[in-house]
């Protein structure tokens, strides 16, 4: 058997695991590992400019590909800088393995230079974590970490590596096993057949059904099955923010996103439904509004791989624990059987009436039926930017969003054709996510249109990554919806604090983004007039080999609508504009 040092084992194990990219930043505690990678590995390493960006880039890569993102950081500040990115991945159940350096074993607990208790700090935001005690344990630990990260409900896993176990001097036999056994970890592989039968019965009896599909459908690769089921049942489908793309955005059965800034027709259909089929969604507080007023007429079928998500916020009438894909396949089979036996049939008349109602809602206030932004002032509207982008890219681009108004406009106006195109920090809401995430996506799919949708607030939280994009020639297109305010903060201040803009204004301190982009070697474009928008966007997207930073000056006072009324509102209580409400 081959003899390798600890550092070499890490390099080899990552190779054996099929890792395509490592996102990281070197430092004292990981120098042995970096040297081993340099000497023995051909896995491309992407040197970021801040460890937070390494985690977001690995996260973006994981979201776009479904593979595990890999991060390598040093101890102390390297590890703590990675925390925000780990928490981001944790909240959205993204598979990630973070290798963090640690001071040498004999120094642990002595407040050594660049020592921090990484296991302790990361514990609440990881799916699991390991500290490797001796070099011989490295291969098995890495194997377990990847297995835990990608199976069941995915999530980030931290491996803490004391420096001494990675030293080049000592060599050990290397063996990378094919199988992992963890007696205490066995995620469900099928849903309970009896529960699925009950669910099918409920769905077929429904007069006003709706499918509420979340990020779990994307993580569980179940879009095809979802689409087939929805078409078979002629049921409307709404997506959560995390689920966008899991059902085709242009499908006539798609009623849009639900929740706080969801589409009017989606929220109305949810509120009035009699059966809700929740798939890989977790009834987040940004979805339900007031839980006690949530969907008063509905029986709820809840399918999720994580039993702890079921009946956490809203009690499920039919809980089904299992991978959403396997459950949907079983549902389709049972539908076939029911159709053959002709024992249970849908009330097609009731469903037709339900669609008439939904179409009426679409006509009344649907933003896809009638765009709810006014171009008469000549100012560029943020919604218009997204609408135009969707038109130019035919709904095929990867959109990596930051957090704020631009994120919600993107979620409302871009109609994704495929799962994994919409890359955003839904759960944690991490500003600064969009640019580094786009780096991970662009590395995975060099020929695709990869766009960062951001604002002048978010982009500055990780703007240093423009340098990384230069080093690795990542021709991302950055759409900076510049309104000179922290837009979402301002919107809330307008609505709840009588427009007192406490710390949401930068005065004249914003940089010249064009010069900034150019300083990093990229192309900058300033767009101020509505008429210039589409040509400029087309020009930018046509520059296939250049990063283009589009600084787009949008209407400074636009709000995101619909917006659910809270506190104490139900799904159907919404502001539709600054003056209209339901």
Residues noted as catalytic = 51, 113-114, 163, 488
Sheet (strand 128-131) strand order: 45-47, 22-24, 69-73, 96-102, 156-162, 128-131
In the bound state with another protein, the residue whose beta carbon lies nearer, of 153 and 477, is 153
Of positions 184, 340, 349, 377, contacts another protein by CB under 8 A? 184
Closest residue by Cα to residue 544 from 448, 434, 440: 448
Q: Is 124 in the site for another protein (CB under 8 A)?
A: yes
Q: Which stretch binds another protein (CB under 8 A): 9-17, 273-281, 300-308, 342-350?
A: 300-308
In the bound state with another protein, the residue whose beta carbon lies nearer, of 151 and 272, is 151
Q: Is 289 in the site for another protein (CB under 8 A)?
A: no
Of positions 311, 417, 464, 470, contacts another protein by CB under 8 A? 311
In the bound state with another protein, the residue whose beta carbon lies nearer, of 104 and 339, is 104
One-character DSSP codes across 380-422 = BPHHHHHHHHHHHHTT-SEEEE-SSHHHHHHHHH---SSTT-E
Q: Is 109 in the site for another protein (CB under 8 A)?
A: no
Q: Is 181 in the site for another protein (CB under 8 A)?
A: no
For every residue of 235-250, which 3-state class applies, written as one string? CCEEECCCCCCCCCCC
Q: What angle do CA 15, 118, 137 make, to 5 degrees?
A: 45
Q: Which stretch binds another protein (CB under 8 A): 50-58, 82-90, 183-191, 353-361?
A: 183-191
In this structure, the strands spanning 299-304 and 156-162 are unpaired
Of positions 104, 119, 344, 510, contacts another protein by CB under 8 A? 119
The residues near 30 (Cβ < 8 Å, ≥ 6 apart) are 24, 72, 73, 74, 75, 78, 99, 101, 161, 163, 166
Spatial contact of 539 and 550, defined as CB atoms under 8 Å apart = no
One-character DSSP codes across 140-169 = HHHHHHHHHHHSSS--EEEEEEEGGGG-SS
Compute the least distance from the CB of residue 185 to another protein, in Å.
5
Q: Which stretch binds another protein (CB under 8 A): 101-109, 182-190, 192-200, 292-300?
A: 182-190
Of positions 88, 131, 334, 460, contacts another protein by CB under 8 A? 131
Of positions 15, 128, 198, 293, contacts another protein by CB under 8 A? 128
Of positions 16, 20, 137, 306, contacts another protein by CB under 8 A? 306
Task: Show contacts with another protein in window 134-153 (CB under 8 A).
Answer: 148
In the bound state with another protein, the residue whose beta carbon lies nearer, of 80 and 311, is 311
Report DSSP state, residue 291: G
Give residue for tokens 């890999």.
Answer: 70
**Helix H segments across 320-376?**
324-341, 348-365
In the bound state with another protein, the residue whose beta carbon lies nearer, of 228 and 306, is 306
The residues near 504 (Cβ < 8 Å, ≥ 6 apart) are 485, 486, 489, 490, 493
Compute the least distance from the CB of residue 133 to another protein, in Å.
9
Compute the least distance from the CB of residue 304 to another protein, in Å.
11
In the bound state with another protein, the residue whose beta carbon lies nearer, of 128 and 171, is 128
Q: Is 531 in the site for another protein (CB under 8 A)?
A: no
Q: Which stretch binds another protein (CB under 8 A): 7-15, 306-314, 401-409, 498-506?
A: 306-314
Q: Is 307 in the site for another protein (CB under 8 A)?
A: yes
Report DSSP state, residue 348: H
Q: Which stretch binds another protein (CB under 8 A): 31-39, 176-184, 356-364, 419-427?
A: 176-184
Q: How far is CA 7 from the centre of its chain?
A: 32
Spatial contact of 268 and 246, defined as CB atoms under 8 Å apart = no
How many other C-beta atoms are found inside a 10 Å radius of the C-beta of residue 147? 18
Of positions 181, 183, 342, 507, contacts another protein by CB under 8 A? 183
Compute the least distance from the CB of residue 142 to another protein, in Å.
15
Spatial contact of 328 and 305, defined as CB atoms under 8 Å apart = no
Compute the least distance from the CB of residue 411 to another protein, in Å.
28
In the bound state with another protein, the residue whose beta carbon lies nearer, of 306 and 317, is 306
Q: Which stretch binds another protein (CB under 8 A): 107-115, 200-208, 239-247, 307-315?
A: 307-315
In whole angstroms, what is the distance from residue 220 CA to residue 234 CA?
Answer: 23
Q: Is 567 in the site for another protein (CB under 8 A)?
A: no
* Helix axes of 405-413 and 382-393: crossing angle, nearest 10 degrees: 40
**Helix H segments across 192-282?**
193-205, 215-219, 223-233, 264-272
Compute the least distance from the CB of residue 124 to another protein, in Å.
5
Please give the residue ranges that form the binding site for another protein (CB under 8 A).
119-120, 123-124, 127-129, 131, 148, 182-185, 306-308, 311-312
């Amino acid at each position: 058997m081959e003899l390798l040092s600890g550092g070499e084992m890490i390099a080899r194990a990552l190779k054996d695991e099929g890792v395509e990219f490592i996102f990281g930043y070197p430092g004292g505690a990981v120098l042995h590992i970096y040297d081993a990678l340099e000497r023995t590995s051909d896995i491309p390493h992407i040197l970021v400019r801040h460890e937070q960006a390494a985690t977001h880039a690995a996260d973006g890569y994981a979201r776009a590909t479904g593979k595990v993102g890999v991060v390598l950081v040093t101890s102390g500040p390297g590890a703590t800088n990675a925390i925000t990115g780990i928490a981001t991945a944790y909240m959205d159940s993204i598979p990630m393995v973070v290798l963090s350096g640690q001071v040498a074993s004999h120094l642990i607990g002595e407040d050594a230079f660049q020592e921090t208790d990484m296991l302790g700090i990361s514990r609440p935001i990881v799916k699991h974590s390991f500290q490797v005690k001796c070099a011989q344990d490295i291969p098995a630990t890495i194997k377990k970490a990847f297995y835990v990260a990608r199976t069941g409900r995915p999530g980030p896993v931290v491996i803490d590596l004391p420096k001494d176990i990675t030293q080049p001097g000592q060599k050990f036999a290397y063996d990378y096993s094919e199988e992992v056994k963890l007696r205490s970890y066995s995620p469900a592989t099928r849903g309970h057949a009896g529960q699925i039968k009950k669910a099918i019965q409920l769905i077929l009896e429904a007069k006003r059904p709706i499918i509420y599909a979340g990020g779990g459908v994307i993580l569980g690769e179940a879009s095809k099955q979802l689409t087939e089921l929805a078409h078979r049942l002629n049921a409307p489908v709404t997506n959560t923010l995390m689920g966008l793309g899991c059902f085709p955005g242009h499908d006539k059965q798609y009623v849009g996103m639900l929740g706080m800034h969801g589409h009017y027709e989606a929220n109305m259909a949810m509120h009035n439904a009699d059966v809700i089929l929740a798939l890989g969604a977790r009834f987040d507080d940004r979805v339900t509004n007031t839980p006690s007023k949530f969907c008063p007429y509905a029986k709820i079928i809840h399918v999720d791989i994580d039993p702890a998500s079921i009946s956490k916020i809203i009690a499920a009438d039919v809980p089904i624990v299992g991978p959403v894909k396997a459950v949907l396949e079983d549902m389709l089979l049972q539908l076939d059987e029911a159709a053959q036996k002709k024992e249970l049939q849908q009330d097609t008349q009731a469903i037709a009436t339900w669609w008439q109602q939904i179409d009426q809602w679409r006509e009344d206030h649907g933003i896809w039926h009638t765009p709810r932004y006014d171009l008469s002032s000549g100012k560029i509207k943020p919604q218009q930017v997204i609408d135009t982008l969707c038109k130019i890219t035919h709904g095929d681009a990867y959109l990596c969003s930051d957090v704020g108004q631009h994120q919600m406009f993107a979620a409302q106006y871009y109609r994704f054709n495929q799962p994994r195109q919409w890359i955003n920090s839904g759960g944690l809401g991490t500003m600064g996510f969009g640019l580094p995430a786009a780096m991970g996506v662009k590395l995975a799919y060099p020929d695709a249109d990869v766009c960062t949708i951001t604002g002048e607030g978010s982009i500055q939280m990780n703007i240093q990554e423009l340098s990384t994009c230069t080093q690795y020639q990542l021709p991302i297109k950055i759409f900076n919806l510049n309104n000179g305010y922290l837009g979402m903060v301002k919107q809330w201040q307008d609505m709840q604090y009588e427009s007192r803009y406490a710390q949401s204004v930068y005065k004249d301190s914003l940089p010249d983004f064009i010069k900034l982009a150019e300083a990093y070697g990229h192309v900058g474009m300033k767009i101020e007039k509505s008429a210039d928008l589409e040509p400029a966007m087309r020009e930018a997207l046509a520059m296939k080999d250049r990063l283009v930073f589009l600084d787009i000056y949008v209407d400074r006072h636009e709000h995101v609508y619909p917006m659910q009324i809270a506190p104490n509102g139900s799904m159907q209580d919404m502001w539709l504009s600054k003056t209209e409400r339901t």
